[in-house]
Amino acid sequence: MARVRLEGIEKRFGRTRVLKGVDLEVQDREFLVLLGPSGCGKTTLLRIVAGLEWPDRGRVFLGEREVTSLPPRARGLAMVFQNYAVFPHLTVRENIAFGLRMRRYPEGIVREKVGRAAELLRIGELLDRYPAQLSGGQRQRVAVARALAVEPEVLLMDEPLSNLDALLRLELRAELKRLLKETGVTTVYVTHDQMEAMGMADRIAVMREGEIVQYGPPLEVYQKPVDTFVGGFLGHPPMNFLPLGPEEASFLLGDRREVLVGVRPEDLQVFQEEIPGGVPGRVLVVEPLGPHQLVTLEAWGQALKATVPSSLSLEPGNPVWLRISKESLRLFDPRTGRALL
Ligand code: ATP
């Protein structure tokens, strides 16, 4: 049974169509990430699930229940938002207890649930502090503990890590993943950070201009993007796109037609000696990144990015030969950008 189901959600703000008929199912215990560029409608969709915004059309279900017109507090959800500051005048303990007190749990139960949430988030020793006495990461943990303390069936998170520095984000990302699996809460998580999405999600819904353009497990979305938008959005650096004329296409693919070839930087094999069937190219820029290096190359008359082992000693100006295995290619229609099967 899907824990969250959206049917034909449409939303306008003034003349702007922000959501254009979104259908989505999030399974019980699933960690779903809504991923997309700024302004594509992720937050609006999440707010509609939360009941903080009403759709113009469409329906929202939580489990079997239709909740489209119910207020937030009647939906049994918990939320952690980007700037969802914890209450500054309450201690960590009181912050975590807040939702439980609202639900009028007896004091003994409140104490027990606060203790458990604090333990899960590893902030047990901070319970008597005020938010001003905490680091950004600790404060964020308090916000998550407060949301989880009420043991919601569905947890909604909107860019909860975006105010933190890179290292802390990385650490909290793994912790959140562990935590949400441990508690088994169904989660809808909004981010525009594709690394976060890839690393955390069971499934990713990629959004573009008010629509979900692809929905699937992270690796599937990464390896089989349905169009050049998804291919270009996921991956760091993104997929290379090579427009090939019929002649070049026939050389590479044995098929005479115009295509856009998508190849990931890690699938571009770079050789320093000529190899049979290799395509000649030239090194433009080398960026050493530790375990590998990012090389900008010129080949097929255009610039491409390749990630290659650090052991290759490449200098700008060096001639190279490139090979792409057929299995790693994705073909797109040059006019529509849609993947060709
Ligand atoms: P970001 O990653 O930048 O938060 P997003 O994908 O979450 O972006 P939304 O916040 O859902 O995008 O906004 C989608 C569009 O709707 C944007 O063009 C935004 O300007 C517009 N919008 C959002 N809320 C309102 C509102 N209350 N009134 C008018 N326009 C709005």
Same structural domain, 9 and 75: yes
Question: For residue 281, what pLDDT is reported?
Answer: 96
* ipTM of the prediction greater than 0.90, yes or no: yes
Same structural domain, 271 and 219: no
Question: For residue 257, what pLDDT is reported?
Answer: 83
Protein residue with least CA distance to atom 22, ligand 1: 13
Q: Give me the number of domains the chain comprises.
A: 2
- Mean pLDDT, consecutive 10-residue stretches, the chain (341 aa), reads 89 96 96 95 96 96 94 90 80 94 93 91 92 88 90 91 81 87 92 91 96 96 95 91 83 79 94 92 95 94 93 94 89 93 69
pTM: 0.89
Same structural domain, 228 and 244: no
Same structural domain, 220 and 325: no
Q: How far is CA 202 from CA 31, 171, 199, 327, in A?
A: 5, 19, 9, 25
Choose one of 232, 259, 274: the last residue of a domain: 232
Question: For residue 84, what pLDDT is reported?
Answer: 57
In the chain the first and final C-alpha atoms are separated, in Å, by: 31
Q: How far apart are the CA of 45 and the centre of ligand 1, in A? A: 10
User: 179: domain CATH number?
Assistant: 3.40.50.300
- Domain carrying residue 121: 4-232
Is 297 within the bounds of a domain? yes
Question: For residue 19, what pLDDT is reported?
Answer: 98
Q: Beta-carbon neighbour count of residue 247 at 10 Å? A: 9
Same structural domain, 253 and 201: no
CA–CA distance, 124 with 227 (Å, rounded to integer): 47
Per DSSP, the residues of 149-160 read HT--SEEEEEST
Q: Is the CB of 83 under 6 A from ligand 1?
A: no
Question: For residue 140, what pLDDT is reported?
Answer: 86
Q: Is the CB of 192 under 6 A from ligand 1?
A: yes
Q: Which of 15, 20, 44, 45 to mutate to test the pocket of ligand 1 (most atoms within 8 A of CB)?
A: 44
Q: Beta-carbon neighbour count of residue 20 at 10 Å? A: 15
Q: Is the dihedral of CA 66, 71, 75, 79 positive or negative?
A: positive
Same structural domain, 112 and 252: no
Protein residue with least CA distance to atom 17, ligand 1: 39
